[in-house]
Homo-oligomer: A and B are copies of this chain.
Amino acid sequence: MLLAKVVGTIVSTVKNDSIKGSKYLLLEKCNQSGEKKGDYLVALDLIGAGNDELVFVAESTSARETPVTVNKPVDAIIIGIIDLIDENEKIVYKK
């Protein structure tokens, strides 16, 4: 899974995903301290991640394995909102 921050929203009316009320967010990839890396992706959000929150994202087919997304054409989904990351016993990110 990769680390990313929520930086925006994607508005799309013509869609092929058959997910009712699906919400797609614009994410910017981050390092383990939450610093942005200038690399963007679009991910499905089912947990209500807010702007500037650090999240971790599953890519590839695993993105379909929730009751809502099963057998839907989605390849990136937010798995969790991160509260804290420690690296070598030091806290490197705190919400």
Chain A residues within CB distance 8 Å of chain B: 1-3, 7-18, 24, 26, 31-32, 40-43, 46-48, 51, 56, 58-66, 69-89, 92
Contact = CB atoms under 8 A, between A and B. Distances in A.
8 contacts: A1-B24, A1-B74, A8-B88, A14-B47, A42-B56, A60-B60, A62-B72, A66-B73
Contacts of A71: 65, 70
A56 to B, nearest CB: 5
- List the number of copies, as a whole number: 5
B42 A8 contact: no
Contacts of A59: 60, 75
From A14, A16, A66, A76, name the one whose CB has the most chain B CB atoms within 10 angstroms: A16
B80 A12 contact: yes
Contact of A24 (B15, B56, B69): B56
